[in-house]
Amino acid sequence: MSDANRPQESLDRPYMRDIFGLYPGTITLAGYAATYGCPLDGGPPLEGGQVKVRKLNMNYVVSRLRKLKHEGIEDRDPTLLYHELYANLLYDGITHADDPHRFEMGRQVFDLIDVLARPEWVDFSKLENQIVPEFFYRDDSAGNNKFFHQLLLSLELFLRITSRSPLNNSLGKHHSWPVKVRYDLVLAQRWLENVEIESPASSHPAAQSTVTFHFQNKNSQVDILRNFGWTLKWPNMPEVEFILSEVDTKEKAVEDRSVSCMSWFTGLMLPGRTMPWVMMKTLIDCDPDAPPSIKTLSHLAPNAGLQWRGSTYWSWECIVGKVLGAAKGVRQMCGWLGPLPTSPELHRSEVVLIKQAPPLGHLTPSDIHNMTANSEAFPEHELSIHVDDFDMLEPDLEDPTDNIRIERLNFQPVTPDSQTVMRILPPGSQKNPRPPSSISGRSASGRSTSSRSISGRSNFSMYPGDPTLYDASITFAIASKSWRVYLRHDTPFIAAYPCKNGPHVLYNAYDFRVVRPDKLTEIKNWGSNITDDAESETGSEIYYNNEVEEVLIIEAFGVCDNEVFARAWCSYWGLAAVIADVDKTCVACAVREAYAASVKVVILNCARSNAHNEVEDVDRTILEV
């Protein structure tokens, strides 16, 4: 029920189809702007309850679901639909037989909306309710019956509003309806596209369902999951392939292995951020060797990753994945990045939660509306333009920095008395397991946005039994000296949009500074309204200036570790950055995009210069099954 060409009317927030950038760990400019956009809009919340619902027998519900799937209601007379609806599902509130509006399709639609708006039905717009099979793939028969009752009402509504009845012209736009009801419509659409109820008996000896489901797109879902695992080089893919092939009749059907598997193989996934988590959890549940310790991933804690069998994998919403997305050999698919290096400070198999503060700065509605004006190629208000007013920016690819290497990943468990202020550790400070917050002897205090202090608090509360919450950092060797950079902010990295016929010139009103990545250790408080000398030893507040006065251009050419360090530096200071491959986007266009997005850092790379370091793909034909 969401128009793919109109993201502003989509239920996705942000619009997931356009969120991921060209490079691992990045997002698009549209996705970045959407994170600061308006919340999901809809009509005023309805309490419902004006229309009464009849008690239903499950045999009728199953029979009606099958009939709607096979026959629909297309070209049915509204009078017949009226009798079917009010004789079996709803009580008719109109008692006068001569009422002229009694049989109108619009009246049936609004009565169904009124019913579905009642609070006792499941609200699938809430993130915790978006794993749909949790409401019918369980032993609670009463809960299962309630779900199918709600599903039937949703199907009745969906088929009426998608019919060709001329009366539907007066129903209004669906995006103005309550959000809860719009999610019910999406659920109905997903059900019709993916699931069919065949009979009340189970056809699979190991199935747990009380009715038989036929999954129309199961084979394609298996192929997508298989490609997902191979792309990310999942360490136990041969065994996963064996499970997906379903050649062993003693094994459960893949859809019955878990709730996540049921969700993925049925295709019953709702719009939003849930799908990447369903996919990864399905891959784990289809791995017979996966330990329980990595099965605790949850879409409710997006700042997460996992370590298993010599690799780590990270969510696109976790700062560790965003920073290490620039590392050599990293792949990104469906919101997951990997394989990435392990850390000796973690268990061999473990789910990892990362403490990450919000990024500094923010986009206002005015910033978003003025993006074009803030990034114009030349000033339209000027009567004359001189050639000297423009600069041609050429990247220096001849002698890239080659003295930065990743040494290790560090994870320190967060405790109630942990310090919340972190820093880039200078050489000679690596022995202290929890060093004071300083760089070159100076303290780096907590910074704030719009006069609001960012204390570095976790965005995931710890309770007994939860995965451990960690402070993450990366130790780099820079000019043969070790520097530890804490990843304290959930910093977004924006993939620059490719330009054509470049390179282009840059109007000299755009101020910038070019720096090599090994010089970043000398730059502090970039984009703030204080100088280095104003930094307090006692941890006084630093206030962030949201206006872009100068863009820092980091030439992270050469080895991939240069860009990893640049991203880590941005995470430490809480600065968003535009990531540009100079073979796809010229420097001038990258700088203008940074001004458009109110971003103060541009990180340049060149994939061509690293072509000789490409990592080979896994040979998928070698299956040890």
Burial 3-33 (b: 16+ CB within 10 A, else e): eeeebebbbbbbbbebbbbbbbbbbbbbbbb
In DSSP terms, 200 is beta-bridged to none
Q: Categorize the per-residue pLDDT at 529 as very low, low, confident or very high, splitting at 50, 70 and 90.
A: low
The structure tokens listed for 572 are: 């430490």
Q: Is residue 437 part of a domain?
A: no
Do residues 110 and 82 lie in contact, with contact meaning Cβ atoms separated by under 8 Å?
no
Q: Is residue 281 part of a domain?
A: no
How would you classify the pairing of strands 601-605 and 577-581? parallel
Lowest mean per-residue pLDDT among 18-22, 233-237, 394-398, 433-437: 433-437
Q: Categorize the per-residue pLDDT at 173 as very low, low, confident or very high, splitting at 50, 70 and 90.
A: low
Sequence length of the chain is: 625
Query: Over 60: is that where the pLDDT of 445 sits?
Result: no
Task: Write down the residue that tokens 């690819």 correspond to.
Answer: 397
The structure tokens listed for 395 are: 């990247």
H or E, element range at 57: none
Q: Categorize the per-residue pLDDT at 613 as very low, low, confident or very high, splitting at 50, 70 and 90.
A: low
Shortest CA distance to 113 belongs to which of 161, 79, 73? Answer: 161
**Higher pLDDT pick, 150 / 173:** 150
Lowest mean per-residue pLDDT among 425-429, 448-452, 526-530, 605-609: 448-452
The structure tokens listed for 178 are: 């309550």
525 φψ region: left (φ > 0), alpha (ψ -120 to 50), beta (else): left
Give me the amino acid identity at 206.
Answer: A
368 φψ region: left (φ > 0), alpha (ψ -120 to 50), beta (else): alpha
Lowest mean per-residue pLDDT among 99-103, 192-196, 232-236: 99-103
Q: Is residue 203 part of a domain?
A: no
pLDDT, residue 429, reads: 55
Q: Is residue 90 part of a domain?
A: yes
Give me the amino acid identity at 561.
Answer: D
Establish how many alpha carbons lie within 13 A of residue 359's alpha carbon, considering only the half-sphere containing its beta carbon: 27
Q: Is residue 407 part of a domain?
A: no
**Higher pLDDT pick, 373 / 227:** 227
d(CA 275, CA 186): 14
- Domain extent for 134: 35-197
pLDDT, residue 387, reads: 87
- Reported as a single tens digit per residue, the pLDDT across 407-427 is 999 999 998 766 544 456 665
What's the rounded mean pLDDT across residues 157-176? 67
Do residues 184 and 124 lie in contact, with contact meaning Cβ atoms separated by under 8 Å?
yes
The structure tokens listed for 339 are: 């394989």
In DSSP terms, 331 is beta-bridged to 338
Q: Is residue 354 part of a domain?
A: no
Q: In the chain, how many domains are there?
A: 2
Domain boundary (156, 181, 197) is at 197
Do residues 171 and 109 lie in contact, with contact meaning Cβ atoms separated by under 8 Å?
yes
Percentage of residues in the chain with pLDDT exceeding 70?
A: 77
Do residues 467 and 351 lie in contact, with contact meaning Cβ atoms separated by under 8 Å?
yes
pLDDT, residue 612, reads: 58
Angle in degrees, CA 200, 202, 204, rounded to 5: 160
The structure tokens listed for 214 are: 């036929």
Burial 505-522 (b: 16+ CB within 10 A, else e): bbbeebebebebbbebbe
Q: Is residue 151 part of a domain?
A: yes
What's the rounded mean pLDDT across residues 377-400? 85
Q: Is residue 228 part of a domain?
A: no
The structure tokens listed for 204 are: 């699979």
Q: What is the DSSP string of 103-146?
A: T-HHHHHHHHHHHHTSTTS--TTSGGG-BGGGGTSSS-HHHHHH
What's the rounded mean pLDDT across residues 444-469? 42
The structure tokens listed for 621 are: 């034909």
Query: Over 70: is that where the pLDDT of 434 sits?
Result: no
pLDDT, residue 202, reads: 46
In DSSP terms, 306 is beta-bridged to 313, 351
- Reported as a single tens digit per residue, the pLDDT across 58-107 is 889 999 999 999 888 866 788 888 888 999 999 876 655 566 667 788 88
What's the rounded mean pLDDT across residues 213-230? 95
d(CA 623, CA 577): 41
Highest mean pLDDT among 157-171, 322-336, 406-420, 525-539: 322-336
Shortest CA distance to 393 belongs to which of 509, 516, 507? Answer: 507
Domain boundary (197, 223, 250) is at 197
Burial (Cβ within 10 Å: 0-12, 13-18, ≥19) of residue 71: exposed
Do residues 196 and 181 lie in contact, with contact meaning Cβ atoms separated by under 8 Å?
no
- Structure pTM? 0.85
Domain boundary (146, 163, 197) is at 197
Query: First vs last Cα of the chain: how many Å apart?
Result: 42
Mean pLDDT, the chain, as a whole number? 82
Query: Over 50: is that where the pLDDT of 443 sits?
Result: no
Q: What is the DSSP string of 598-617?
A: T--EEEEE-GGGGGGGPPPP
- Reported as a single tens digit per residue, the pLDDT across 350-388 is 999 999 999 988 888 888 889 998 899 887 777 777 888
How would you classify the pairing of strands 304-308 and 311-315? antiparallel
DSSP 158: H
